[in-house]
Amino acid sequence: MAQYNPPLRDMQFLMHEVLDVVAELKALPAHAEVDADTLNAVLEEGGKFAAQVLAPLNQSGDEEGCTLDRSTHAVTAPKGFKAAYAQYVEGGWPSLSCDPAYGGQGLPQVVNQCMYEMMNSANQAWTMYPGLSHGAYECLHTHGSDAQKALYLAKLTSGQWTGTMCLTEAHCGTDLGMLRSRAEPQADGSYKITGNKIFISAGEHDLAENIIHLVLARLPDAPVGSKGISLFVVPKFNVNADGSVGTRNGVYCGGLEHKMGIHGNATAQIVLDGAVGTLVGQPNKGLAAMFVMMNAARLGVGMQGLGLTEVAYQNAAAYAKDRIQMRSLSGVKAADKPADPIIVHPDVRKMLLTARAYAEGGRALAMWTTLQLDKEIATDDEDVKRDCADVVALITPIVKAFLTDNAWLATSHCMQVFGGHGYIKEWGMEQYVRDARINMIYEGTNTIQSLDLLGRKVLGDNGAKLKKFGKLVTEFIEEEGVNEAMQEFVNPLADIGDKVTKLTTELGMKGFQNPDEVGAAAVDYLRVCGHLVFAYFWARMAKVALAKQAGGDPFYKAKLVTARFYFAKLLPETASLIRTARAGAKPMMDMDEALF
Protein backbone atom coordinates (compact mmCIF):
# COMPACT_ATOMS: atom_id res chain seq x y z
CA MET A 1 0.00 0.00 0.00
CA ALA A 2 1.32 3.44 -0.92
CA GLN A 3 2.44 5.86 1.79
CA TYR A 4 2.39 9.65 2.00
CA ASN A 5 4.47 12.17 3.96
CA PRO A 6 3.44 15.84 3.70
CA PRO A 7 6.29 17.88 2.12
CA LEU A 8 6.22 20.48 4.90
CA ARG A 9 9.91 21.36 4.66
CA ASP A 10 9.60 22.24 0.99
CA MET A 11 6.42 24.21 1.57
CA GLN A 12 8.13 26.21 4.34
CA PHE A 13 11.16 26.77 2.12
CA LEU A 14 9.00 28.30 -0.58
CA MET A 15 6.78 30.22 1.79
CA HIS A 16 9.45 31.77 3.98
CA GLU A 17 12.72 31.67 2.03
CA VAL A 18 11.77 32.09 -1.62
CA LEU A 19 8.44 33.93 -1.79
CA ASP A 20 8.52 35.77 1.57
CA VAL A 21 4.81 35.12 1.91
CA VAL A 22 4.41 36.62 5.38
CA ALA A 23 5.83 39.99 4.36
CA GLU A 24 3.64 40.03 1.24
CA LEU A 25 0.55 39.21 3.27
CA LYS A 26 1.25 41.68 6.07
CA ALA A 27 0.99 44.47 3.50
CA LEU A 28 -2.68 43.50 3.05
CA PRO A 29 -5.10 44.78 5.71
CA ALA A 30 -7.04 41.51 5.82
CA HIS A 31 -3.89 39.52 6.62
CA ALA A 32 -1.89 42.02 8.69
CA GLU A 33 -1.87 39.65 11.69
CA VAL A 34 -0.59 36.61 9.79
CA ASP A 35 2.72 35.18 11.04
CA ALA A 36 4.98 32.31 10.06
CA ASP A 37 4.22 30.24 13.15
CA THR A 38 0.49 30.28 12.41
CA LEU A 39 0.99 29.26 8.79
CA ASN A 40 3.37 26.47 9.77
CA ALA A 41 1.03 25.17 12.47
CA VAL A 42 -1.96 25.08 10.13
CA LEU A 43 -0.01 23.18 7.47
CA GLU A 44 1.41 20.73 10.00
CA GLU A 45 -2.05 19.85 11.30
CA GLY A 46 -3.43 19.74 7.75
CA GLY A 47 -0.66 17.35 6.80
CA LYS A 48 -1.60 15.05 9.66
CA PHE A 49 -5.21 14.97 8.51
CA ALA A 50 -4.16 14.18 4.93
CA ALA A 51 -1.64 11.49 5.86
CA GLN A 52 -3.46 9.85 8.77
CA VAL A 53 -7.13 10.14 7.78
CA LEU A 54 -7.35 10.43 3.99
CA ALA A 55 -4.40 8.41 2.70
CA PRO A 56 -5.49 5.11 4.32
CA LEU A 57 -8.83 5.41 2.45
CA ASN A 58 -7.34 6.02 -1.00
CA GLN A 59 -6.84 2.46 -2.19
CA SER A 60 -9.92 1.00 -0.51
CA GLY A 61 -12.05 3.83 -1.90
CA ASP A 62 -10.72 3.10 -5.39
CA GLU A 63 -11.52 -0.60 -5.07
CA GLU A 64 -15.00 -0.12 -3.59
CA GLY A 65 -16.17 2.90 -5.59
CA CYS A 66 -19.54 4.57 -5.14
CA THR A 67 -22.91 2.79 -5.06
CA LEU A 68 -26.18 4.05 -6.57
CA ASP A 69 -29.54 2.87 -5.27
CA ARG A 70 -31.64 3.25 -8.41
CA SER A 71 -34.91 3.06 -6.49
CA THR A 72 -34.09 6.10 -4.35
CA HIS A 73 -31.39 7.74 -6.51
CA ALA A 74 -29.19 7.86 -3.39
CA VAL A 75 -25.44 7.43 -3.73
CA THR A 76 -23.24 5.96 -1.01
CA ALA A 77 -19.56 6.93 -0.98
CA PRO A 78 -16.90 4.30 -0.18
CA LYS A 79 -16.52 3.06 3.36
CA GLY A 80 -14.81 5.61 5.62
CA PHE A 81 -15.39 8.61 3.34
CA LYS A 82 -18.36 9.95 5.31
CA ALA A 83 -16.55 9.65 8.65
CA ALA A 84 -13.48 11.35 7.20
CA TYR A 85 -15.66 14.18 5.92
CA ALA A 86 -17.23 14.61 9.35
CA GLN A 87 -13.74 14.84 10.84
CA TYR A 88 -12.79 17.37 8.16
CA VAL A 89 -15.78 19.54 9.05
CA GLU A 90 -15.20 19.17 12.79
CA GLY A 91 -11.62 20.35 12.33
CA GLY A 92 -12.79 23.53 10.62
CA TRP A 93 -10.85 22.79 7.42
CA PRO A 94 -13.59 23.87 4.94
CA SER A 95 -13.55 27.41 6.36
CA LEU A 96 -9.79 28.07 6.17
CA SER A 97 -9.79 30.87 3.60
CA CYS A 98 -13.48 31.76 3.65
CA ASP A 99 -14.91 35.15 4.59
CA PRO A 100 -15.29 35.65 8.37
CA ALA A 101 -18.65 37.30 7.64
CA TYR A 102 -19.95 33.80 6.87
CA GLY A 103 -18.06 31.89 9.55
CA GLY A 104 -14.76 31.58 7.72
CA GLN A 105 -11.31 31.83 9.29
CA GLY A 106 -10.13 34.44 6.78
CA LEU A 107 -6.73 32.82 6.25
CA PRO A 108 -4.97 33.49 2.94
CA GLN A 109 -5.70 31.40 -0.14
CA VAL A 110 -2.08 30.30 -0.25
CA VAL A 111 -2.64 28.24 2.91
CA ASN A 112 -5.74 26.65 1.40
CA GLN A 113 -3.76 25.78 -1.72
CA CYS A 114 -1.14 23.94 0.32
CA MET A 115 -3.86 22.09 2.21
CA TYR A 116 -5.44 20.97 -1.03
CA GLU A 117 -2.14 19.81 -2.45
CA MET A 118 -1.68 17.55 0.56
CA MET A 119 -5.24 16.23 0.44
CA ASN A 120 -4.92 15.51 -3.28
CA SER A 121 -1.72 13.58 -2.67
CA ALA A 122 -3.45 11.57 0.01
CA ASN A 123 -6.76 10.93 -1.75
CA GLN A 124 -7.79 12.87 -4.86
CA ALA A 125 -11.21 11.23 -5.20
CA TRP A 126 -12.21 12.19 -1.64
CA THR A 127 -10.78 15.70 -1.96
CA MET A 128 -13.04 16.46 -4.91
CA TYR A 129 -16.09 16.54 -2.59
CA PRO A 130 -14.98 19.59 -0.55
CA GLY A 131 -12.96 21.01 -3.45
CA LEU A 132 -16.01 21.66 -5.59
CA SER A 133 -17.80 23.13 -2.59
CA HIS A 134 -15.13 25.79 -2.31
CA GLY A 135 -15.68 26.75 -5.94
CA ALA A 136 -19.44 27.04 -5.37
CA TYR A 137 -18.73 29.24 -2.35
CA GLU A 138 -16.48 31.52 -4.42
CA CYS A 139 -19.07 31.85 -7.18
CA LEU A 140 -21.92 32.75 -4.83
CA HIS A 141 -19.69 35.03 -2.77
CA THR A 142 -18.89 37.00 -5.94
CA HIS A 143 -22.16 36.89 -7.86
CA GLY A 144 -24.88 35.75 -5.45
CA SER A 145 -27.64 38.04 -4.21
CA ASP A 146 -27.75 39.05 -0.55
CA ALA A 147 -30.53 36.51 -0.02
CA GLN A 148 -28.52 33.72 -1.67
CA LYS A 149 -25.45 34.57 0.35
CA ALA A 150 -27.46 34.55 3.57
CA LEU A 151 -29.07 31.23 2.68
CA TYR A 152 -26.06 29.28 1.40
CA LEU A 153 -22.64 30.70 2.25
CA ALA A 154 -22.46 29.89 5.96
CA LYS A 155 -23.39 26.24 5.30
CA LEU A 156 -20.88 25.95 2.45
CA THR A 157 -18.24 27.63 4.61
CA SER A 158 -18.73 25.20 7.49
CA GLY A 159 -18.91 22.20 5.17
CA GLN A 160 -22.37 21.30 6.44
CA TRP A 161 -23.44 21.48 2.78
CA THR A 162 -21.38 20.72 -0.32
CA GLY A 163 -21.56 22.19 -3.83
CA THR A 164 -21.21 21.18 -7.46
CA MET A 165 -20.99 22.79 -10.89
CA CYS A 166 -23.49 21.42 -13.46
CA LEU A 167 -22.31 22.45 -16.91
CA THR A 168 -21.76 19.55 -19.29
CA GLU A 169 -24.50 17.84 -21.28
CA ALA A 170 -24.21 14.68 -23.36
CA HIS A 171 -24.19 16.51 -26.70
CA CYS A 172 -21.83 19.29 -25.63
CA GLY A 173 -18.71 19.35 -23.52
CA THR A 174 -16.68 22.53 -23.58
CA ASP A 175 -19.01 24.10 -26.17
CA LEU A 176 -21.53 25.25 -23.58
CA GLY A 177 -23.29 27.47 -26.10
CA MET A 178 -25.05 24.30 -27.28
CA LEU A 179 -26.58 23.36 -23.92
CA ARG A 180 -30.33 22.64 -23.85
CA SER A 181 -31.33 22.69 -20.17
CA ARG A 182 -34.14 25.20 -19.77
CA ALA A 183 -35.39 27.39 -16.95
CA GLU A 184 -39.04 28.49 -16.74
CA PRO A 185 -39.79 31.64 -14.68
CA GLN A 186 -42.32 31.23 -11.85
CA ALA A 187 -44.67 33.78 -10.32
CA ASP A 188 -42.71 33.86 -7.05
CA GLY A 189 -39.45 34.84 -8.78
CA SER A 190 -37.98 31.35 -8.77
CA TYR A 191 -37.42 29.11 -11.82
CA LYS A 192 -38.23 25.51 -12.67
CA ILE A 193 -35.26 23.91 -14.38
CA THR A 194 -35.42 20.86 -16.62
CA GLY A 195 -32.56 19.08 -18.34
CA ASN A 196 -29.83 16.49 -18.07
CA LYS A 197 -26.21 16.98 -17.05
CA ILE A 198 -23.36 14.49 -17.21
CA PHE A 199 -19.88 14.13 -15.69
CA ILE A 200 -20.92 15.97 -12.50
CA SER A 201 -18.18 15.32 -9.96
CA ALA A 202 -19.50 14.80 -6.41
CA GLY A 203 -22.97 15.23 -7.92
CA GLU A 204 -24.69 12.96 -5.39
CA HIS A 205 -23.39 11.44 -2.15
CA ASP A 206 -24.09 10.81 1.51
CA LEU A 207 -21.31 12.94 3.02
CA ALA A 208 -23.37 16.07 3.75
CA GLU A 209 -27.03 16.84 4.46
CA ASN A 210 -27.50 18.98 1.33
CA ILE A 211 -25.84 19.55 -2.04
CA ILE A 212 -25.96 22.95 -3.70
CA HIS A 213 -25.85 22.62 -7.48
CA LEU A 214 -24.83 25.57 -9.63
CA VAL A 215 -26.59 24.91 -12.91
CA LEU A 216 -26.30 26.50 -16.35
CA ALA A 217 -29.58 26.66 -18.27
CA ARG A 218 -31.49 28.77 -20.82
CA LEU A 219 -34.38 31.13 -20.23
CA PRO A 220 -37.31 30.90 -22.70
CA ASP A 221 -36.30 34.02 -24.62
CA ALA A 222 -32.55 33.46 -24.40
CA PRO A 223 -30.32 34.30 -27.38
CA VAL A 224 -28.65 31.35 -29.09
CA GLY A 225 -25.11 30.39 -28.18
CA SER A 226 -23.08 31.26 -25.12
CA LYS A 227 -24.74 34.68 -24.85
CA GLY A 228 -27.98 33.00 -23.84
CA ILE A 229 -26.78 31.06 -20.79
CA SER A 230 -27.99 31.85 -17.28
CA LEU A 231 -26.77 30.51 -13.95
CA PHE A 232 -29.02 29.11 -11.23
CA VAL A 233 -28.51 27.77 -7.73
CA VAL A 234 -30.46 24.53 -7.31
CA PRO A 235 -30.31 22.76 -3.94
CA LYS A 236 -30.81 19.01 -3.60
CA PHE A 237 -33.20 19.78 -0.77
CA ASN A 238 -35.15 23.02 -0.85
CA VAL A 239 -34.06 25.39 1.89
CA ASN A 240 -36.56 26.91 4.29
CA ALA A 241 -36.50 30.60 5.15
CA ASP A 242 -34.76 29.83 8.43
CA GLY A 243 -31.96 27.97 6.63
CA SER A 244 -33.13 24.49 7.54
CA VAL A 245 -33.42 21.66 5.03
CA GLY A 246 -36.89 21.33 3.53
CA THR A 247 -38.53 19.17 0.90
CA ARG A 248 -36.68 17.15 -1.75
CA ASN A 249 -36.10 19.15 -4.92
CA GLY A 250 -36.53 17.78 -8.44
CA VAL A 251 -32.85 17.12 -8.98
CA TYR A 252 -31.45 13.60 -8.68
CA CYS A 253 -28.79 11.16 -9.84
CA GLY A 254 -29.86 9.15 -12.87
CA GLY A 255 -26.64 7.14 -13.07
CA LEU A 256 -22.97 6.98 -12.14
CA GLU A 257 -20.22 7.07 -14.75
CA HIS A 258 -17.99 3.97 -14.87
CA LYS A 259 -14.55 5.53 -15.01
CA MET A 260 -10.90 4.72 -15.53
CA GLY A 261 -9.94 6.36 -12.23
CA ILE A 262 -11.13 8.49 -9.28
CA HIS A 263 -13.56 5.69 -8.44
CA GLY A 264 -14.13 7.05 -4.94
CA ASN A 265 -15.78 10.18 -6.30
CA ALA A 266 -19.37 10.05 -7.49
CA THR A 267 -19.27 11.29 -11.08
CA ALA A 268 -23.01 11.60 -11.61
CA GLN A 269 -25.52 11.90 -14.41
CA ILE A 270 -27.82 14.57 -12.99
CA VAL A 271 -31.48 14.80 -13.97
CA LEU A 272 -33.30 18.09 -13.42
CA ASP A 273 -37.06 17.53 -13.50
CA GLY A 274 -38.75 20.84 -12.77
CA ALA A 275 -36.16 21.52 -10.07
CA VAL A 276 -36.67 24.79 -8.23
CA GLY A 277 -33.80 27.24 -8.52
CA THR A 278 -32.99 30.91 -8.24
CA LEU A 279 -31.11 33.07 -10.71
CA VAL A 280 -27.50 33.95 -9.89
CA GLY A 281 -26.48 37.33 -11.29
CA GLN A 282 -28.08 38.71 -14.43
CA PRO A 283 -30.14 36.81 -17.05
CA ASN A 284 -28.06 35.49 -19.95
CA LYS A 285 -24.83 36.37 -18.09
CA GLY A 286 -24.41 33.00 -16.44
CA LEU A 287 -21.25 31.90 -18.19
CA ALA A 288 -19.33 34.93 -16.93
CA ALA A 289 -20.56 34.26 -13.39
CA MET A 290 -19.72 30.57 -13.62
CA PHE A 291 -16.17 31.42 -14.72
CA VAL A 292 -15.40 32.29 -11.09
CA MET A 293 -16.05 28.66 -10.20
CA MET A 294 -14.47 27.34 -13.40
CA ASN A 295 -11.23 29.25 -12.81
CA ALA A 296 -11.14 28.09 -9.19
CA ALA A 297 -11.70 24.55 -10.46
CA ARG A 298 -8.87 24.88 -13.01
CA LEU A 299 -6.44 25.91 -10.30
CA GLY A 300 -7.82 23.07 -8.19
CA VAL A 301 -7.20 20.53 -10.93
CA GLY A 302 -3.63 21.79 -11.14
CA MET A 303 -3.38 20.95 -7.43
CA GLN A 304 -4.65 17.46 -8.20
CA GLY A 305 -1.84 16.98 -10.70
CA LEU A 306 0.71 18.39 -8.29
CA GLY A 307 -0.53 16.21 -5.44
CA LEU A 308 -0.29 13.03 -7.50
CA THR A 309 3.17 13.95 -8.80
CA GLU A 310 4.43 14.37 -5.23
CA VAL A 311 2.98 11.18 -3.77
CA ALA A 312 4.04 9.08 -6.76
CA TYR A 313 7.58 10.43 -6.44
CA GLN A 314 7.73 9.67 -2.72
CA ASN A 315 6.74 6.05 -3.19
CA ALA A 316 8.97 5.48 -6.21
CA ALA A 317 12.00 6.98 -4.45
CA ALA A 318 11.44 4.77 -1.38
CA TYR A 319 11.06 1.68 -3.57
CA ALA A 320 14.18 2.47 -5.63
CA LYS A 321 16.31 2.65 -2.48
CA ASP A 322 15.01 -0.70 -1.26
CA ARG A 323 14.61 -2.82 -4.39
CA ILE A 324 17.80 -4.62 -5.46
CA GLN A 325 18.41 -5.71 -9.06
CA MET A 326 21.57 -6.00 -11.20
CA ARG A 327 24.85 -4.30 -10.46
CA SER A 328 25.78 -0.72 -11.17
CA LEU A 329 27.50 -0.25 -14.52
CA SER A 330 30.29 1.62 -12.77
CA GLY A 331 30.99 -1.08 -10.20
CA VAL A 332 29.45 -2.78 -7.19
CA LYS A 333 27.74 -0.36 -4.81
CA ALA A 334 26.24 -2.75 -2.23
CA ALA A 335 28.85 -5.43 -1.71
CA ASP A 336 26.93 -6.97 1.17
CA LYS A 337 23.96 -7.70 -1.08
CA PRO A 338 23.49 -9.96 -4.11
CA ALA A 339 22.60 -6.93 -6.24
CA ASP A 340 22.59 -3.15 -6.00
CA PRO A 341 19.50 -1.08 -5.21
CA ILE A 342 18.00 0.14 -8.45
CA ILE A 343 18.51 3.77 -7.47
CA VAL A 344 22.13 3.41 -8.61
CA HIS A 345 21.01 3.11 -12.25
CA PRO A 346 21.06 6.41 -14.21
CA ASP A 347 17.71 6.00 -15.91
CA VAL A 348 15.94 5.22 -12.65
CA ARG A 349 17.40 8.42 -11.27
CA LYS A 350 16.26 10.27 -14.38
CA MET A 351 12.68 9.12 -13.84
CA LEU A 352 12.77 10.00 -10.14
CA LEU A 353 14.34 13.41 -10.69
CA THR A 354 11.84 14.19 -13.43
CA ALA A 355 8.99 13.63 -11.00
CA ARG A 356 10.78 15.52 -8.23
CA ALA A 357 11.59 18.51 -10.45
CA TYR A 358 8.02 18.70 -11.70
CA ALA A 359 6.63 18.42 -8.16
CA GLU A 360 8.88 21.08 -6.65
CA GLY A 361 8.60 23.41 -9.63
CA GLY A 362 4.84 22.97 -9.66
CA ARG A 363 4.61 23.72 -5.95
CA ALA A 364 6.53 26.97 -6.42
CA LEU A 365 4.29 28.01 -9.30
CA ALA A 366 1.09 27.10 -7.46
CA MET A 367 2.10 28.89 -4.27
CA TRP A 368 3.17 32.04 -6.12
CA THR A 369 -0.02 32.08 -8.20
CA THR A 370 -2.22 31.74 -5.13
CA LEU A 371 -0.28 34.52 -3.43
CA GLN A 372 -1.10 36.77 -6.38
CA LEU A 373 -4.74 35.76 -5.94
CA ASP A 374 -4.54 36.76 -2.27
CA LYS A 375 -3.15 40.14 -3.27
CA GLU A 376 -5.80 40.63 -5.93
CA ILE A 377 -8.58 39.91 -3.44
CA ALA A 378 -7.25 41.82 -0.43
CA THR A 379 -5.28 44.83 -1.71
CA ASP A 380 -6.63 48.38 -1.64
CA ASP A 381 -4.28 49.41 -4.44
CA GLU A 382 -6.17 49.27 -7.75
CA ASP A 383 -2.96 49.03 -9.80
CA VAL A 384 -1.76 46.06 -7.77
CA LYS A 385 -5.21 44.47 -8.01
CA ARG A 386 -5.23 44.82 -11.80
CA ASP A 387 -1.69 43.52 -12.22
CA CYS A 388 -2.34 40.52 -9.98
CA ALA A 389 -5.59 39.75 -11.79
CA ASP A 390 -3.76 39.85 -15.12
CA VAL A 391 -0.98 37.48 -14.13
CA VAL A 392 -3.43 35.08 -12.46
CA ALA A 393 -5.50 35.05 -15.65
CA LEU A 394 -2.35 34.39 -17.70
CA ILE A 395 -1.01 31.67 -15.42
CA THR A 396 -4.26 29.78 -14.68
CA PRO A 397 -4.27 27.74 -17.93
CA ILE A 398 -0.59 26.94 -17.37
CA VAL A 399 -1.26 25.71 -13.83
CA LYS A 400 -4.10 23.55 -15.07
CA ALA A 401 -2.48 22.12 -18.20
CA PHE A 402 1.26 22.08 -17.52
CA LEU A 403 0.94 20.62 -14.03
CA THR A 404 -1.49 17.92 -15.12
CA ASP A 405 0.54 17.02 -18.24
CA ASN A 406 3.57 16.74 -15.98
CA ALA A 407 1.63 14.59 -13.52
CA TRP A 408 0.75 12.14 -16.28
CA LEU A 409 4.43 11.90 -17.22
CA ALA A 410 5.63 11.74 -13.62
CA THR A 411 3.15 9.12 -12.39
CA SER A 412 3.95 6.98 -15.44
CA HIS A 413 7.67 7.29 -14.72
CA CYS A 414 7.15 6.43 -11.07
CA MET A 415 5.08 3.37 -11.95
CA GLN A 416 7.91 2.35 -14.29
CA VAL A 417 10.40 2.52 -11.41
CA PHE A 418 8.46 -0.32 -9.78
CA GLY A 419 8.84 -2.47 -12.89
CA GLY A 420 6.23 -5.23 -12.99
CA HIS A 421 5.13 -4.41 -9.45
CA GLY A 422 4.03 -0.98 -10.67
CA TYR A 423 1.39 -2.67 -12.77
CA ILE A 424 0.05 -4.58 -9.77
CA LYS A 425 -2.79 -2.92 -7.88
CA GLU A 426 -1.61 -3.64 -4.32
CA TRP A 427 1.39 -1.26 -4.67
CA GLY A 428 -0.89 1.68 -5.42
CA MET A 429 1.11 3.13 -8.28
CA GLU A 430 -1.24 2.22 -11.12
CA GLN A 431 -4.03 4.08 -9.31
CA TYR A 432 -2.01 7.30 -9.43
CA VAL A 433 -1.62 6.89 -13.18
CA ARG A 434 -5.33 6.24 -13.67
CA ASP A 435 -6.34 9.12 -11.41
CA ALA A 436 -3.87 11.48 -13.09
CA ARG A 437 -5.30 10.91 -16.56
CA ILE A 438 -8.64 12.60 -15.91
CA ASN A 439 -6.96 15.81 -14.82
CA MET A 440 -5.85 16.49 -18.40
CA ILE A 441 -9.47 16.22 -19.57
CA TYR A 442 -11.96 17.84 -17.24
CA GLU A 443 -12.46 21.52 -16.37
CA GLY A 444 -11.54 22.31 -19.97
CA THR A 445 -9.21 19.90 -21.74
CA ASN A 446 -5.58 20.87 -21.86
CA THR A 447 -6.01 21.79 -25.51
CA ILE A 448 -8.75 24.22 -24.47
CA GLN A 449 -6.35 25.65 -21.86
CA SER A 450 -3.72 26.05 -24.59
CA LEU A 451 -6.14 27.89 -26.88
CA ASP A 452 -7.17 30.08 -23.96
CA LEU A 453 -3.54 30.93 -23.19
CA LEU A 454 -2.38 31.70 -26.72
CA GLY A 455 -5.62 32.98 -28.24
CA ARG A 456 -7.20 34.93 -25.37
CA LYS A 457 -4.58 35.62 -22.74
CA VAL A 458 -1.60 36.39 -25.00
CA LEU A 459 -2.71 37.38 -28.50
CA GLY A 460 -6.05 38.71 -27.27
CA ASP A 461 -4.40 41.71 -25.59
CA ASN A 462 -1.31 41.90 -27.82
CA GLY A 463 0.84 40.28 -25.16
CA ALA A 464 0.11 42.77 -22.35
CA LYS A 465 -0.39 40.09 -19.68
CA LEU A 466 2.61 38.10 -20.91
CA LYS A 467 4.75 41.22 -20.70
CA LYS A 468 3.81 41.67 -17.05
CA PHE A 469 5.16 38.24 -16.22
CA GLY A 470 8.09 38.81 -18.57
CA LYS A 471 8.97 41.89 -16.58
CA LEU A 472 9.44 39.73 -13.46
CA VAL A 473 11.74 37.44 -15.40
CA THR A 474 13.75 40.34 -16.85
CA GLU A 475 14.17 42.00 -13.46
CA PHE A 476 15.46 38.77 -11.96
CA ILE A 477 17.91 38.25 -14.84
CA GLU A 478 19.20 41.80 -14.47
CA GLU A 479 19.64 41.40 -10.70
CA GLU A 480 21.47 38.09 -10.97
CA GLY A 481 23.31 38.68 -14.24
CA VAL A 482 26.47 39.78 -12.41
CA ASN A 483 26.40 36.82 -10.02
CA GLU A 484 28.87 34.30 -11.42
CA ALA A 485 27.44 31.45 -9.36
CA MET A 486 24.01 32.01 -10.88
CA GLN A 487 25.04 31.93 -14.54
CA GLU A 488 24.13 28.26 -14.99
CA PHE A 489 20.54 29.19 -14.13
CA VAL A 490 20.23 32.76 -15.39
CA ASN A 491 21.60 32.16 -18.88
CA PRO A 492 19.11 29.43 -19.89
CA LEU A 493 16.30 31.45 -18.28
CA ALA A 494 17.22 34.47 -20.41
CA ASP A 495 17.46 32.24 -23.48
CA ILE A 496 14.00 30.73 -23.09
CA GLY A 497 12.59 34.17 -22.32
CA ASP A 498 13.91 35.51 -25.62
CA LYS A 499 12.62 32.49 -27.50
CA VAL A 500 9.11 32.85 -26.05
CA THR A 501 9.04 36.50 -27.13
CA LYS A 502 10.07 35.63 -30.68
CA LEU A 503 7.74 32.66 -30.92
CA THR A 504 4.79 34.72 -29.65
CA THR A 505 5.41 37.42 -32.26
CA GLU A 506 5.73 34.87 -35.05
CA LEU A 507 2.56 32.98 -34.07
CA GLY A 508 0.64 36.23 -33.73
CA MET A 509 1.51 37.22 -37.29
CA LYS A 510 0.68 33.77 -38.68
CA GLY A 511 -2.56 33.58 -36.72
CA PHE A 512 -3.69 36.94 -38.06
CA GLN A 513 -3.53 35.49 -41.56
CA ASN A 514 -4.91 32.04 -40.68
CA PRO A 515 -6.55 31.31 -37.29
CA ASP A 516 -5.81 27.58 -37.69
CA GLU A 517 -2.16 28.46 -37.08
CA VAL A 518 -3.09 29.33 -33.49
CA GLY A 519 -4.87 26.01 -33.06
CA ALA A 520 -1.94 24.10 -34.53
CA ALA A 521 0.66 25.70 -32.27
CA ALA A 522 -1.27 26.26 -29.03
CA VAL A 523 -0.47 23.01 -27.19
CA ASP A 524 3.24 23.25 -27.91
CA TYR A 525 3.18 26.95 -27.04
CA LEU A 526 1.62 26.37 -23.62
CA ARG A 527 4.24 23.78 -22.78
CA VAL A 528 7.02 26.19 -23.81
CA CYS A 529 5.48 28.87 -21.58
CA GLY A 530 5.19 26.33 -18.77
CA HIS A 531 8.91 25.74 -18.99
CA LEU A 532 9.58 29.48 -19.01
CA VAL A 533 7.63 29.81 -15.77
CA PHE A 534 9.32 26.76 -14.22
CA ALA A 535 12.76 28.02 -15.26
CA TYR A 536 12.03 31.32 -13.52
CA PHE A 537 11.01 29.65 -10.26
CA TRP A 538 13.77 27.07 -10.38
CA ALA A 539 16.27 29.91 -10.79
CA ARG A 540 14.76 31.68 -7.79
CA MET A 541 14.93 28.51 -5.70
CA ALA A 542 18.51 27.90 -6.79
CA LYS A 543 19.47 31.41 -5.71
CA VAL A 544 18.32 30.73 -2.15
CA ALA A 545 19.88 27.27 -2.07
CA LEU A 546 23.24 28.62 -3.28
CA ALA A 547 23.28 31.21 -0.52
CA LYS A 548 22.48 28.67 2.20
CA GLN A 549 24.27 25.51 1.12
CA ALA A 550 27.38 26.40 3.13
CA GLY A 551 25.43 25.69 6.31
CA GLY A 552 25.55 21.98 5.56
CA ASP A 553 21.81 21.37 5.42
CA PRO A 554 21.34 18.57 2.84
CA PHE A 555 18.00 20.10 1.86
CA TYR A 556 19.78 22.89 -0.02
CA LYS A 557 22.17 20.50 -1.74
CA ALA A 558 19.25 18.42 -2.95
CA LYS A 559 17.49 21.55 -4.17
CA LEU A 560 20.52 22.57 -6.23
CA VAL A 561 20.98 19.10 -7.71
CA THR A 562 17.30 19.06 -8.72
CA ALA A 563 17.58 22.56 -10.19
CA ARG A 564 20.58 21.53 -12.27
CA PHE A 565 18.73 18.43 -13.44
CA TYR A 566 15.76 20.53 -14.49
CA PHE A 567 17.87 22.94 -16.57
CA ALA A 568 19.98 20.14 -18.08
CA LYS A 569 17.37 17.46 -18.76
CA LEU A 570 13.87 18.96 -18.85
CA LEU A 571 14.10 22.54 -20.10
CA PRO A 572 15.75 21.44 -23.40
CA GLU A 573 12.39 19.92 -24.38
CA THR A 574 11.48 23.44 -25.47
CA ALA A 575 13.75 23.19 -28.53
CA SER A 576 11.61 20.51 -30.16
CA LEU A 577 8.39 22.17 -28.98
CA ILE A 578 9.33 25.46 -30.61
CA ARG A 579 10.23 23.65 -33.82
CA THR A 580 6.91 21.79 -33.96
CA ALA A 581 4.98 24.98 -33.08
CA ARG A 582 6.62 26.71 -36.02
CA ALA A 583 5.78 23.82 -38.34
CA GLY A 584 2.28 25.29 -38.48
CA ALA A 585 -1.11 23.94 -39.46
CA LYS A 586 -0.28 22.57 -42.92
CA PRO A 587 1.00 19.11 -41.84
CA MET A 588 -2.34 18.49 -40.05
CA MET A 589 -4.78 20.28 -42.35
CA ASP A 590 -3.49 18.90 -45.66
CA MET A 591 -5.04 15.50 -44.99
CA ASP A 592 -8.41 15.05 -46.69
CA GLU A 593 -11.10 14.21 -44.11
CA ALA A 594 -12.15 11.14 -46.09
CA LEU A 595 -8.66 9.66 -45.64
CA PHE A 596 -8.75 9.60 -41.86
Angle at 544 between CA 541 and CA 545, to 5 degrees: 85
Between helix 464-480 and helix 487-513 the angle, nearest 10°, is 160
- What's the chain's Rg over C-alpha atoms? 24
CA neighbor of 112 nearest in space, from 123, 126, 101, 127:
127
**Helix (H) and strand (E) counts in the chain:** 19, 11
The residues near 153 (Cβ < 8 Å, ≥ 6 apart) are 98, 99, 102, 137, 140, 141, 144
Decide if 443 is catalytic.
Answer: yes
Q: From the candidates 443, 478, 479, 517, give the one annotated as an active-site residue.
A: 443
**218: DSSP letter:** B
Distance separating alpha carbons of residues 266 and 262, to the nearest angstrom: 9
Confirm if 120 and 160 have CB atoms less than 8 A apart.
no
Distance separating alpha carbons of residues 301 and 526, to the nearest angstrom: 17
CA neighbor of 532 nearest in space, from 300, 342, 414, 361:
361
CA neighbor of 319 nearest in space, from 404, 420, 406, 409:
420
DSSP string for 135-195: HHHHHHHHH--HHHIIIIIHHHHHTSEEEEEE--BTTBSS-GGG---EEEE-TTS-EEEEE
Give the residue numbers annotated as catalytic, written as ranges.
Answer: 443
